[in-house]
Amino acid sequence: MSETTALHAAQDVSDRRSKHIDIVFLALTLLILAVGLVMLLSASYAREYYTTGNPMRIFNRQVLLSAVGIVALLILTTLPETFYDKFAIISVVVSVIGLIVVLFVGTEADTGGVRAILIGPISIQPSEFAKFTVILAFAKLSVRNEKKMKKLRSTLDFKQNWKYRLKVELWYTVFPYCVILAVICGLLVLEPHVSACIIFIFITGAMMFQSGTKIRYLLILLALVALAGIFMYKTGVPGDYVKQRVVVWQDPWNTEDPVVDKWGYQTRQSLIAVGSGGLMGLGLGQSRQKHLYLPEEHNDFIFSIVCEELGFVGALLILSMFVLLIVRGYWLALRAKTKFSSLVIAGITTQLALQVFLNVSVVTNLIPCTGISLPFFSYGGSALLCQMSGMGIILALSKQPN
Amino acid sequence: MKNALKQDKTVKPGRTVLVRTWLLLALCGFVAFGALVYKLFEIQIRDVETYTRLAINQQTRSTKITASRGTIYDAKGKILAQSATAYRVVVSPAEMITNKEDPKLIAETLAGIWGDKGADFPTIMSKWNNTKSWHEVVAQKLEPDVAALVRNYKAENKLKSVHLIEESKRYYPAGNIASQIIGFVGDENKGMYGIESYYESTLRGVAGRSIRATNAKGTDMLYMQYENYYDSAQGNSITLTVDATLQYYLEKHLSQAVIDNQIRNGAMGIMMDVNTGAILAAASVPDYDPNAYNTLNDSANSLLIGAIESGKNSGSIANLSLQEGVLGTLDESTKSLLGLTTSQGHTTWNGGAVDFTPEEADQLKLNAIRAQWKSREFADSYEPGSTFKIITLAAALDAGVISESESFYCGGSMNVLGRTTPLNCWKRTGHGSQMLEQAAQHSCNVAFVNIGLRVGADLFYDYIDAFGLKSKTGLDVTGEGSSIWWSDEIFKNPQNKSQLASASFGQTFNITPLQMITAVSAVANGGYLMKPYLVSSVSAPDGTQLKSTEPTVVRQVISEQTSIKCRQILESVVSGKDGTGKNARVAGYRIAGKTGTAEKVGQNSDEYVVSFVGFAPADNPRIAVLVLLDSPSRNSGIYISGGVMAAPAVGNIFADALPYLGVDPELQGDAASRSAVVPNVKTLSTTDAKQKFEDAGFTVRVFGEGSTAVDQAPFSNVLVDSGSQVIIYTEGFKPDQTIEVPNVFGMSYNSAKAALESMGLFIRAVGVNPSESSKIVVARQSFETGSEVAFGTVVEVTLIDNDTSVMEGGRN
């Protein structure tokens, strides 16, 4: 067998590999998207009916965006690993530029903060795009740094001089992540969009963890994050909302406290929706809390409506679909041939898991209230497009041979 | 090497990466979701009820639908209390703001529509200030016609902030009749006082609810037509034993007695069916109109309050002296607040204390209003005085310690073991030797003390107990009063018989009028103590009878034989020439009874409670009547005595009630000779007519010269006194003038008859036989002085014996 033949054979294998995407992952994605659309219709119907008279308005827009999202997913699926490898750094730079631009030309979101750039009828939230571009960038950095570390690790200096080793490890496995994270979080705080920072912090942490950063550094970083949190809580910098949300979280029903009474309304309404759903729920479309009681019912609090209409059983089914998708995502990461792919797949999966977890935690008051949307369910073009893109990237990087 | 180069570029995921991916999978895929599932379980399964309740509370607006209250009927099916639909008007400031409606215009229009039946303009304006409120009541219990005006106004202007809510309103068609027995329905549709209160749960029914789902803005959830309607269940109806007609008679004569005798502290009366214990009528004067229960509808009382209010500045309440007759209706605390003291039968004002604050004036008014709500005949206790000799008599006869053939001597006073001073009879000169029947007729204290002493304290108390005088009767009223007796230790002290002696003629203890009449009914009906009751049956709204009260015999207290003896003796108290109860006589009926005049203990030494308790017919008793007059004024000129003041009232009540109950009068002997039925002489020739009248025992006067009697006066078949002059009108002569009724009050029978006949009126006397005593006077006339009546009208006068030597009475 000549070299050429061998190469050809390898190419054959690679070609064959490129033809097969993970059907299970794709099917789960589309299933969740479909269920999410149905729930969005139900959740948004009442408010749209009362306020605009067109109960289908939000649903129609989301359907259109879903179609765009599917197209994006399919396109991204066809792209080779090398494409993502090449554009990893560029894309994160573009995202950062976007985050800078939005500070100047952005429009204010109804939840406060300048978060979106309006281009005609399309509004783009750079923070959403940043979420998966940082994953690409981190993966890329991680692979490149690992190669460098590999060389350095074999040196005598590295083995004997702990100061040098510390310097190398910090330089290659801690600082690059922290710098990117700091830039992005800094820009997000300026918007301000603090809740997105939480996602970025967790994504960063998860990616550092997965890519092999030593646990001791992660613990130190974790401690720093915790200190920052305590600082914000104690001093009220950058805003009183940290404290407000913690007080509400502790007892949302303590309406004697004017702070809880004022800021806990959303949480209380969410709990009422979730709780009154009971085991089986009120039935699809039968939510009562969506009749102007629950704010953000089509957005961050859509899962409250899910719980109210479909009950504990329905909520569990939907969470199970997410779990299946997430587990399948990690499974694909474990099966990935390259570290880059593995990190990207796992990173996007972790981001998805985090969003679902944090969103449902907020809805159930497991954690203090923070603005995190539910992937595939919450209304929002940029988020949906990015999630679909993320799924597309996972599918692209996980193409397996038969 | 191309391949090697490519290989160099590709970094395979290392072991650390794989392990950590697995860890992430476990954490993000399972642990995190486990926490969520647990949290969802907590909220959706464990705390589902809490959250469901919170959800329902905020998502639904529930409107109470007041149940229609059950009807109260009298014994004959006449409606005494009835509920009808009324309307409540509610304004919603929140909707007024969202719909940009004009609050001032709405308030003006609404206040204009309902006048004083709802909130006035400033009050409505103040309601608008509660800008977040959806529900501010501005009018309640509006009649349907007024509500219709509001509805039209709302519809014409498409008002969103004005709402009409159906509710129920209580009507009392008989007004003041039986007001204290019925009670009234206060705010929140809750029964207050009387039957309305005691039978609240029976009458109330079950309130319904209309529940509709609303959005957070309070309007109906669009497209989700959720409405649940829980029917209200109408309350059950109650039929009373009280007969409105008998009640009317009782109240009429009670009020008359209050006026005639200048009673200062009100009057009470009960009429009981002696054989069943059913209360046929019961009243306290003054009473009130349950349709306007918060008004002092007694005009005198209103005047009094007016005097209080106007007098507090001028420092003079001279007007009060004019209203003395009603001062007695105020309770003691009110009196002391007023600075009023009553002594020697006169209420005087202690000039110092009339500087009322508005709160005090309000309190006074409130006290006076509350006083008229109470059924004092059931709730208050009194000292029965000589009426109680009925019980002493019955106990002694039943115990066999005395006999009818015994004679009792009264020398005007007697010594009693344990008393430092001799016990006086009301007649200081003494009654001399008297048979048992005469002792009862005389109401001789000395005789009855001897009878009581013979019964002995132990047996006496046993009878008191057996007659139910120590315990509540169990009548279906709230707040039945209790009696007050000496402890056994004191009463049964063999070294001191003064308590037994006083109790024998009805003093030094307190019982309720209800206990008294129940015990007397037992004496009358053959000895059976009945449990009194007010409600004869309860029916469902559709008319099916749910419950009916059967008469309950509590126990037999005395034998049939004793009962018969008592009836005979008590009848003689009314029918006998010397009977203290003679003023209760009713022509044609056999009345039995006993008078009572008791000094009020512990209060002013010159205050009396005079009473009479009787039953009829004496040989076969059907009803018993008790009338109690609290604190008569000496100013009336009438001798303060149960025989002079209360007995005529009871007689009048019997005179009305017995024919109504279908008891036929037996006109014989004395009664037959006193009155005669006027025959019909119309269309007869003048001579025949004259003859017919003369045959019937009348003298005749003919008007006109005609040969035929075209009309007569009085009308045929009415009862007038024998020997009256009747009139025949011949053709061409028919007077059409009306006559002013003269005042015959206080006249002797003959003067009254002459005065009336000279005016062309006729007399019919009831009460005592005019020939019996020289001190017979007219105590009442059936038409007020100065009222216009037709020529030839029969004026009924009540005669009483005002002979103080015969009548037991208060000391002068």
Residues B105-143 pLDDT 10s: 888 899 888 888 888 888 888 888 887 777 888 888 888
> Taken in order A100, A103, A107, A108, is the CA torsion positive or negative?
positive
Using CA atoms, how far apart are residues B280 and B533, in angstroms rounded to an integer? Answer: 9
Task: Outline where B129-168 has alpha helix (H).
Answer: 144-156
- pLDDT above 80 for B618: yes
Can you tell me whether residue B339 is helix, strand or coil?
coil
Rg of chain A over all Cα atoms, to the nearest angstrom:
23
List CB contacts (< 8 A) between B40 and chain A: 274, 307, 312, 315-316, 360, 364
A239-253, B82-96, B374-388, B782-796, range with the lowest pLDDT: B782-796
Which residues sit opposite B796 in a β-bridge?
B764
Of A277, A292, A315, the CB nearest to B216: A292
Chain B, nearest residue to A351 by Cα:
B28
State the pLDDT at residue B327.
Answer: 54
* Catalytic site includes residue B386: yes
pLDDT tens-digit series, residues B209-263: 777 777 777 666 665 556 667 777 889 999 999 999 999 999 999 988 888 887 8
> Taken in order A56, A61, A63, A64, is the CA torsion positive or negative?
positive
Using CA atoms, how far apart are residues B491 and B508, in angstroms rounded to an integer? Answer: 11
Cβ proximity of B287 and B178 under 8 Å: no
Confidence of residue B297 (pLDDT cuts 50, 70, 90): low
Using CA atoms, how far apart are residues B340 and B353, in angstroms rounded to an integer? Answer: 9
Q: Cβ separation of A274 and B217 shorter than 8 Å?
A: no
For the residues A38-49, what does the mean pLDDT come to? 91
Which of B68, B386, B443, B724 does the annotation list as catalytic? B386
Q: Cβ separation of B25 and A334 shorter than 8 Å?
A: yes
Gap from A121 CA to chain B (nearest CA, Å): 30
Instruction: Estimate the crossing angle of helix A302-335 against helix A381-397, to 10 degrees.
Output: 20
Chain A, nearest residue to B56 by Cα:
A276
Domain map of chain A by residue range? 21-397
List CB contacts (< 8 A) between B55 and chain A: 272-273, 275-276, 288-289
List CB contacts (< 8 A) between A277 and chain B: 44
Chain-centre distance for alpha carbon B254? 12
Q: CB-based contact (8 Å) between B715 and chain A?
A: no
Chain-centre distance for alpha carbon B520? 21
Nearest to B232 by CA among B86, B63, B60: B63
Using CA atoms, how far apart are residues B627 and B45, in angstroms rounded to an integer? Answer: 69
Q: Cβ separation of A291 and B48 shorter than 8 Å?
A: no
Q: CB-based contact (8 Å) between B39 and chain A?
A: yes
Angle subtended at Cα A195 by Cα A194 and Cα A200, rounded to the nearest 5 degrees: 90
Q: Cβ separation of B3 and A6 shorter than 8 Å?
A: yes
Q: Cβ separation of A364 and B20 shorter than 8 Å?
A: no
Q: What is the number of alpha carbons within 13 Å of residue B375 lying toward its C-beta?
A: 32
Q: Cβ separation of B28 and A288 shorter than 8 Å?
A: no
More confident residue, B363 or B446: B446
* Burial of residue B267, with CB atoms counted within 10 A of its CB: 0-12 exposed, 13-18 middle, 19 or more buried: buried
List CB contacts (< 8 A) between B23 and chain A: 209
Chain-centre distance for alpha carbon A346? 12
Instruction: Estimate the crossing angle of helix B457-466 against helix B445-455, to 10 degrees.
Output: 90
List CB contacts (< 8 A) between A5 and chain B: none
Rg of chain B over all Cα atoms, to the nearest angstrom:
37
Can you tell me whether residue A298 is helix, strand or coil?
coil
- pLDDT above 50 for B323: no
Distance, first Cα to last Cα, chain B:
148
More confident residue, B407 or B775: B407
Chain A, nearest residue to B16 by Cα:
A212
* Burial of residue B5, with CB atoms counted within 10 A of its CB: 0-12 exposed, 13-18 middle, 19 or more buried: exposed
For the residues B48-59, what does the mean pLDDT come to? 88
Cβ proximity of B441 and B643 under 8 Å: no
Best of A272, A307, A318, A350 to disrupt the B interface by mutation (most B CBs within 10 Å)?
A272
Nearest to B171 by CA among B76, B288, B88, B72: B72
Average confidence score pLDDT of chain B: 83
Confidence of residue B348 (pLDDT cuts 50, 70, 90): low
- pLDDT above 60 for A308: yes
Q: Cβ separation of B55 and A275 shorter than 8 Å?
A: yes
pLDDT tens-digit series, residues B519-563: 999 999 999 999 999 999 999 988 899 999 999 999 999 999 999
**How many Cβ pairs closer than 8 A exist between chain A and B?**
169
Confidence of residue B320 (pLDDT cuts 50, 70, 90): very low
DSSP β-ladder status, B725-730 and B699-703: parallel
Can you tell me whether residue B714 is helix, strand or coil?
coil
Confidence of residue A334 (pLDDT cuts 50, 70, 90): very high
Using CA atoms, how far apart are residues A381 and A128, in angstroms rounded to an integer? Answer: 10
Q: Cβ separation of B28 and A350 shorter than 8 Å?
A: yes
Which residues sit opposite B233 in a β-bridge?
B206
Using CA atoms, how far apart are residues B562 and B584, in angstroms rounded to an integer? Answer: 23
For the residues B144-152, what does the mean pLDDT come to? 88
Cβ proximity of B243 and B210 under 8 Å: no
Task: Outline where B661-702 has alpha helix (H).
Answer: 669-674, 686-695
Best of B6, B30, B31, B44 to disrupt the A interface by mutation (most A CBs within 10 Å)?
B44
Using CA atoms, how far apart are residues A393 and A76, in angstroms rounded to an integer? Answer: 6
Confidence of residue A1 (pLDDT cuts 50, 70, 90): very low
Best of B1, B23, B43 to disrupt the A interface by mutation (most A CBs within 10 Å)?
B43
Gap from A279 CA to chain B (nearest CA, Å): 6
Residue type, position B468, single letter: G
List CB contacts (< 8 A) between A315 and chain B: 40, 44
Cβ proximity of B762 and B724 under 8 Å: yes
Cβ proximity of B798 and B792 under 8 Å: no
pLDDT tens-digit series, residues A104-151: 887 776 555 667 887 767 778 888 889 889 999 999 999 888 888 888
Write the DSSP symbol of residue A264. S
pLDDT tens-digit series, residues A60-118: 999 999 999 999 999 999 999 889 999 999 999 999 999 999 888 877 765 556 678 87
Using CA atoms, how far apart are residues B213 and A177, in angstroms rounded to an integer? Answer: 53
Cβ proximity of B550 and B767 under 8 Å: no
Q: Cβ separation of B36 and A312 shorter than 8 Å?
A: no
pLDDT tens-digit series, residues A253-293: 988 888 888 888 999 999 999 999 999 998 898 888 888 88
For the residues B575-598, what does the mean pLDDT come to? 88
- pLDDT above 50 for B5: no
Q: Cβ separation of B44 and A289 shorter than 8 Å?
A: no
More confident residue, A8 or B591: B591
Which residues sit opposite B798 in a β-bridge?
B766, B780
Cβ proximity of A358 and A198 under 8 Å: yes
For the residues B348-359, what does the mean pLDDT come to? 54
Q: Cβ separation of A210 and B29 shorter than 8 Å?
A: no
Using CA atoms, how far apart are residues B716 and A63, in angstroms rounded to an integer? Answer: 102
Residues 6+ apart with CB under 8 A from B219: none
Best of B3, B33, B54, B219 to disrupt the A interface by mutation (most A CBs within 10 Å)?
B33
Buried b / exposed e over B738-756, threshold 16 CB at 10 Å, is ebebbebeebbbeebbebb
- pLDDT above 50 for A16: no
| Tokens (6 digits) for A225 | 């994050």
For the residues B594-611, what does the mean pLDDT come to? 77
Average confidence score pLDDT of chain A: 87
